Every structure is written in C-alpha cells, then in structure tokens.
Structure 1
Amino acid sequence: MHLEKVPRVSRISKESFLKEYYRPQKPVIIEKAIEHWPAYTKWNLEYMREVAGSKVVPLYDDRPVDHKDGFNEPHARMKMADYIDLLKREPTRYRIFLWNVLKEVPELQKDFEYPDFGLRLMKGLPMLFFGGRDSYTFMHYDIDLANIFHFHFQGEKEVILFAQSENEFLYKVPHSLITHEAIDFSAPDLNAWPALRHASGYRAQLNHGEVLYMPEGYWHHMRYLTPGFSMSLRAIARNPRNLSRAFYNLLVMRNYDGVMRRLKGQKWIDWKNQQAIDRTHKRNSGSLR
C-alpha cells in the first residue's frame, strides 16, 4: 500500500480549513484546536469512571460478522466502571462504539463545544468510542458518508484512511460498509491481498487532544495503541453523489442486507466475502498478473 502521513497543523482558521482541506476533501490533523476545552484537561479514563461508572455500556470486538447479528448489535454489555478496570488491567478486544454523549451522560456536554470549522455540525450526535490496547475496527466507512471530526483523548491511536476513489483495490464487501474482515490493514499480507499494492491512502497517529478531519465517505481503520477513547462530531455530506448514497445506504442497502441475512443465513455472509475477493481481482486482473 502507498500510505502518506496525514498533514498536521498546530491551529487553523476556518477560511484556511475550508480552502486547503474541506473543498479538496483531504484529511488533516489539528493539534491544538481544543486546548481551551475543559475536556482537554478533564477527560481521561478515571474521569469517565467518575461520571459514567454505573452506566451499562454496549461492547464490540473483532469477531467476523455473523448472519445472526443485527445491525450494530453489541457482542456484550458491562458497567462502565468494570470496563475501565478491564482496559487498565490487560489488553482487550472489547470496544465501545457509537456511545451517544447527550443521551447517556448529558453533563459531559459542559466539557466541550462545537467548533466552527465552517461546516454545520449535527449537535444531536456527539459519539464516544473506547478501546483497549491493540483493539481495532474493521476497515469501514460511515453509513451517512459524513464529514467527521475525530477528537482523541488519553493514549495513542493509529488511523489508516482511504478515499472512496480507492474502492477497486480494497476488497469491499458488497451490500456492506466494510472491506474483507480477514485483512489486517496495520500489516497486510500483500501476497494474499495483492490488489492492496495499488491502494493509496494515509496513515496517522493520534495523541491526546488532537483532532482528525476525515472527509466525506473516507474509509477508516483504527487501532488503539494504548487504552483510550475518542469523540466524533459530524457534518452532513454536501457532495450530491455522497448524499444520495447516504440515503440509499440508510433506506435500501441496510434493509436489503437484513432481509438477505434472514433468508439465506450464513451463506449470504460467505457469498459477500467471496464476492469481495472475486470482484476486486476481476477489476484488477491486468495488474495482478
């Protein structure tokens, strides 16, 4: 794979962000955008235990998709205090995914604000994500193809990004938002997945207080190098093609996939995974010889 470093800036004006990154749809890390937030100094695992320790949280791991799984159905549940103990005690694959701050712990909203980067952020959807050392997400893109601002807290996280223009090389699973789950994007076997040799993307490491801008529909794979957590704020896709795809994903693709899982069971999942390989190799047949 051809991975370049995500550009970094210390701070950036709204005008410069729109001109240099949003309009050309390029990612960027802003290092010192939130130092004035109370969250910058307050948000760590112990603080989350203090304000949300009694909350029962949904947990996800890296097991392959099963036809019995519902859309975003958790693999386990645990009290936040017990989960934080687990994070600090030992490596774990369990992650918290799409945990709504406003719904679950409204008082956390006092610790941050909605920055003005020139995009209208969806203020009802601030989402938290937690992970233990070496836990990771499958390479995926978000169902609404939104512009995403990803704020990281405590520890370090590795991020690998691809634009939608790289789809033909990524072993995208049809009727899904993921690539083939057997690929380890942190250290892919290019003999097993030869089309990845032609993929061009970005790699970054996020540290406490840094903000990653991910343009509309960007694929992202995230691995926690140490226990930590992040918050995402999002702005609706403005590209008409991306916006129409978002509606298709929400209204058609998700429901169609659910029906096929019920009708065909695991055969549907296995067929999709094989199609990810067959279609990718067919599209790249000339360059893989």
Structure 2
Amino acid sequence: MSNFNLVDKVENITKKEFKERYLSTNTPVIFKDLAKNWRATTKWTFDFFKENYGDWEIPMYDDSYHNPGNGYMKPVSHKKFRDYLNIIETKPTSLRFHNFQIMKRAPELAKDYETPTIMNGFLKFALMFFGGKGSALNLHYDIDCSHVFLTHFQTQKKVYLFPQEQSQLLYKLPYTNHSHLDVLNPDYNKYPAYKYAKGIEATIEHGETLFIPKLWWHYVYYSKGGYSLALRANNSLKTKAKGLSNLVRLFTVDNGMNYLAGEKWKHYKDQKAEENAIKAMQEIKSV
C-alpha cells in the first residue's frame, strides 16, 4: 500500500482560517461541525428514506462500471430504493448508487441541509452517494474543477486522496479522469510506480464533512454501508470554464472511442498509462 498520512480534523474554524490553511493551499481537511445544525444529521436515517422514498426505481452500479463495451459507465440493473437500502444496511455488497441528483427527485430534502458559509461560490447542485460495506468508488478526480464538501451519514466511510501532481504514478488513463488502480489492494507487478505515490487517508464519521480540493484524486471505500451528500463550490470563473471544457472534451472523446473501438480503446489507454507511470517512476529514481 502507498504511504498515507491522516487528514486533519478541525472544528470551530473560521472562514479566514480555512482559506489560509486549507483552501489557499489546496489541502484536504475534515470538518467535525460544518453540518452540526443540519436537520439531515438526525432525520436522514435508513428508515426515513425507506418509508418516504422506498418505491423509487434506482440504477445499480458495480465493479464493472469501467469495463469497455456497451455497458461502459452504465447501470447493471435497477432496484427499489427500499430493497437496496435493506441490503446496504445489513450486509456487504458491491452494488452502489451514485451521482444521484436527489434534490431534483425530492426537492423538499433541500430544506434539511444548509449551504455552508465557509467559502464563497457554492453551486445550487447536490449529489448523493450510497454504498454497501466493502464497495468502492474507483480512483478518480472530479473534472469540473469544483471543490467538493462530502458529508457522511449514519455510519463511516474512508477516502484515500492524492494530489493532481501524482497522476502519472496513479496510472491515469488518458482522455479520462480515472484509473483502474485498486488503492487498497494494488498489484505492484502491474502497477510498480504506485509504490512511489504518497496519499492521505480520511475517515469520515456520521455528520462530518470532508473537503476535497479541486482536482484531487480520491478513492472512496465504504467501511460500513452508508450514504453521503456532496456539495460543490467554485469561486473562479477561470476554473468553471476549464471544468466545462474538460467535461465536453473527456466525455465526448472517451465515450465516443469506447463505442467505436471497445477493447482496443481500453488497451490503448492502459498502455499509455503504463508508459507515463514508468517515465514518472524513472524520474523519481534518478533524483
């Protein structure tokens, strides 16, 4: 496993202190109290979602999410929300439910949380992520260049983070924002450069909020079944424009080539990622 330091945990921090210590330095941090006044921290239980929204049909994703072909980045099945919540509450599963714009489906839930005032530029956009014990969201970074504030509920989640400068050591796949590398169980024969990567480990407990700075790589592991709310902030017109460009370019090229070339396109990306990683590793060794 790579070398992991622990993310700071803070409380009662001011907007000025946050900017100086974490925002300006692009450094992850966990807020113990950013969501302390949210109704969601007591209201959003497994039973609450099952009782009020259990009949929703929701898409299911698993470890095949990035496999080439017709199923690339598509759901493997659909389930009743109630049935899925029963699964993740009681047993391990690889099934995940992610990037869900829950406030579009249930706008009344927006009353249960508050837009943070810790920085400017929060977007009127919220996503929820659900996962069972042992499931993981692959190593990736958010290409829209937004900062992410991830608040977890009920249980515990671990997030492993790496700065953008280590992209090549993480075997970044060209024309994408992700990697096939399994951060917790790496195959060093296949990914030897990963030995030189240095990451940060964050353990988010119920009601805590992880600040993921823009373009930081993150691998999300559900140590227990649970769910999180992600709010995004971007206070720069320049980074907003860059993010939009990234979204159009990466999704258009990658999805288009996957449709046209499938396995050949996957092989090309894997090969380029390996070449770049070896080059980065050799540069480190030569110092």
Q: Under TM normalisation by the shorter chain, which class is it?
A: over 0.9
Residues 127 and 233, structure 1, Cα contact 8 Å, conserved in 2: yes
Q: How does 1:65-214 map to 2 (within 5 A)?
A: 65-69=67-71, 72-123=73-124, 125-179=125-179, 181=180, 183-214=181-212
Match of 1:277 among 255, 270, 274: 274
| Cα distance in 2 between the residues matched to 1:237 and 1:261 | 34
Please name the residue that 1:252 is paired with.
249
| Cα distance in 1 between the residues matched to 2:162 and 2:95 | 25
Structure 1 residue 273, shift from structure 2 partner: 1.7
Residues 196 and 281, structure 2, Cα contact 8 Å, conserved in 1: no
Residues 146 and 234, structure 1, Cα contact 8 Å, conserved in 2: yes
Match of 1:238 among 225, 236, 239: 236
Residues 97 and 128, structure 1, Cα contact 8 Å, conserved in 2: yes
Please name the residue that 1:48 is paired with.
49
Corresponding letter in the other structure for 2:252: N
Question: Which string of whole-angstrom CA distances, capped at 9 and with x for unpartnered residues, describes residues 40-90 of structure 1?
Answer: 1111211111221111111111124223235x4222211100101121332
Question: Which string of whole-angstrom CA distances, capped at 9 and with x for unpartnered residues, describes residues 189-224 of structure 1?
Answer: 434422112212210111000000000111110010
| Cα distance in 2 between the residues matched to 1:274 and 1:239 | 35
Structure 1 residue 177, shift from structure 2 partner: 1.0
Question: Which string of whole-angstrom CA distances, capped at 9 and with x for unpartnered residues, describes residues 12-63 of structure 1?
Answer: 1111111111111101000122121111111121111122111111111112
| Cα distance in 1 between the residues matched to 2:53 and 2:178 | 31
Question: Which string of whole-angstrom CA distances, capped at 9 and with x for unpartnered residues, describes residues 113-164 of structure 1?
Answer: 11111222111x2110000000001100112021000000011111100111
| 5+ residue gaps, structure 2 | none
Structure 1 residue 276, shift from structure 2 partner: 1.3
TM-score by length of 2: 0.93
Corresponding letter in the other structure for 1:58: P
Q: Residues 270 and 192 (structure 1 numbering): CA distance in 2 closer, same or farther, change over 3 Å?
A: closer
Question: Which string of whole-angstrom CA distances, capped at 9 and with x for unpartnered residues, describes residues 147-185 of structure 1?
Answer: 000000011111100111111211101111111x2x320
Structure 1 residue 243, shift from structure 2 partner: 4.3
Q: Residues 211 and 73 (structure 1 numbering): CA distance in 2 closer, same or farther, change over 3 Å?
A: same
Structure 1 residue 238, shift from structure 2 partner: 2.9
Corresponding letter in the other structure for 2:142: D
Residues 131 and 229, structure 1, Cα contact 8 Å, conserved in 2: yes
Q: How does 1:258-273 map to 2 (within 5 A)?
A: 258-273=255-270
| Cα distance in 2 between the residues matched to 1:282 and 1:20 | 33
Residues 122 and 235, structure 2, Cα contact 8 Å, conserved in 1: no
| Cα distance in 1 between the residues matched to 2:12 and 2:54 | 34
Matched residue of 2:94: which SS? coil
Count of residues paired in the alignment: 284
| Cα distance in 1 between the residues matched to 2:118 and 2:214 | 15
Range that drifts further, 269-278 or 208-217: 269-278
Range that drifts further, 246-255 or 47-56: 246-255
Structure 1 residue 272, shift from structure 2 partner: 0.9
| 5+ residue gaps, structure 1 | none
Structure 1 residue 104, shift from structure 2 partner: 1.2
Corresponding letter in the other structure for 1:200: K
Percent of counterpart pairs with the same letter? Answer: 33
